[in-house]
């Protein structure tokens, strides 16, 4: 986040990057379309539940477990192979996200530690805390150079301070920075991608942009594809104005696609009720 350090409100400064305002406006219109749908007024809980399932499936797909939605829906045991455990972790994280909203603004590091504990689902020494120097990181799909543990800790503290301080940045910008920073740092020994996407979800819900959690960005990230995801992440890590703006725009497209997915769910429910 090297371009962000020169102002009192660095996240708001990112909102002024070229093209970001257009992304923010496009996301707002997409979200408004979902919330304005007549089905949302009657069956919002059903839409939220379906969005959670589809979001978890999308996040797991980006982590290497690209299962069909119906397979995720019908499966009850996720303790088998690595892919099953990844899907199970994604589902647990999505369920946990809504329980942590009140804690996020006061103690984001506590929330992130909790998310790692939930994702890992074991009691190993490395679980529920940032990695220490020399500990390996199991994140094979993100090939970026790994920052040292000391750098990761410092930047994680800085990110937490920005979240606690609040500011005027649009929700999309804050969510994209949280997501990008966690992927760049990989502060835990495992499950960093799943945690980063869950943290993005928490910001979008807690900011009021998507309070019912019906616009799963994870769906959009998966639809845009892993190659585009990693290419946009390279832009974020570069720290350039163009790279940061491209990452925020990518996240904006993902939220828009998530909103489109839930709009289609609303339409399907409406046809079924007709």
Residue 168, classed as helix, strand or coil, is coil
Question: What are the start-end ranges of the H helices in the chain?
Answer: 10-15, 20-35, 38-62, 69-74, 82-97, 101-104, 108-120, 149-165, 171-185, 192-206, 217-224, 226-238, 241-273
Per-residue pLDDT, 1: 64
CA pseudo-torsion sign 28, 29, 31, 36: positive
Amino acid 273: pLDDT: 60
3-state DSSP assignment of residue 258: helix
- What is the Cα–Cα distance from 97 to 111, expressed in whole angstroms? 9
Question: Tokens at residue 235, please?
Answer: 């832009």
Classified as helix, coil or strand, 271 is helix
**148: three-class secondary structure by DSSP:** coil
Spans of the chain, pLDDT less than 50: 2-6, 274
Q: What is the model's pLDDT at position 274?
A: 43
DSSP per residue, 175-243: HHHHHHHHHHH--SSB-HHHHHHHHHHHHHHHTTSSTT--S-HHHHHHHH-HHHHHHHHHHHHH--HHH
Domains of the chain, residue spans: 11-271
CA distances from 211 to 22, 25, 204 (A): 22, 17, 7
What confidence score (pLDDT) does residue 64 get?
Answer: 95
Whether this model's pTM surpasses 0.85: yes
Class of the CATH domain delimited by 11-271? mainly alpha
Long-range Cβ pairs for the range 148-151 (8 Å, 24+): 151/185
pLDDT in tens, 122-174: 868 889 999 999 999 999 889 999 999 999 999 999 999 999 999 899 999 99
Burial string for 221-250 (b: 16+ CB within 10 Å, else e) reads bbbbeeeebeebbebbbeeeeebbbbbbbb
CA distance 5 to 163: 14
Q: What tokens were used for 122?
A: 């074991």
């Amino acid at each position: 986040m090297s371009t962000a350090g020169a102002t009192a409100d660095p996240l708001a400064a990112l909102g002024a990057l070229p093209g970001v305002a257009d992304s923010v406006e496009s996301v707002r219109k997409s979200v408004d379309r979902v919330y304005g749908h007549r089905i949302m007024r009657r069956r919002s809980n059903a839409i939220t539940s379906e969005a959670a399932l589809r979001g978890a499936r999308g996040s797991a797909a980006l982590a290497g477990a690209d299962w069909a939605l119906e397979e995720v829906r019908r499966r009850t045991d996720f303790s088998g192979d690595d892919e099953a455990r990844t899907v199970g972790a994604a589902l647990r994280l999505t369920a946990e996200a809504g329980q942590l909203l009140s804690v996020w603004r006061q103690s984001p590091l506590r929330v992130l530690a909790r998310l790692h504990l939930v994702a890992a689902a074991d009691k190993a020494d490395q679980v529920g805390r940032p990695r220490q120097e020399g500990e390996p990181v199991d994140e094979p799909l993100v090939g970026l150079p790994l920052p040292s543990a000391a750098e990761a800790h410092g930047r994680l503290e800085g990110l937490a301070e920005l979240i606690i301080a609040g500011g005027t940045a649009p929700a999309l910008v804050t969510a994209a920075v949280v997501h990008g920073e966690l992927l760049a740092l990989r502060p835990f020994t495992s499950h960093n991608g799943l945690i980063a996407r869950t943290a993005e979800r928490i910001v979008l819900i807690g900011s009021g942009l998507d309070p019912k959690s019906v616009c799963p960005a994870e769906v959009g990230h998966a639809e845009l594809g892993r190659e585009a995801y990693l290419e946009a992440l390279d832009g974020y890590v570069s720290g350039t104005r163009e790279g940061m703006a491209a990452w925020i725009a990518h996240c904006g497209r993902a939220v828009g696609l998530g909103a489109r997915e839930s709009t289609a769910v609303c339409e399907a429910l409406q046809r079924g009720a007709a």
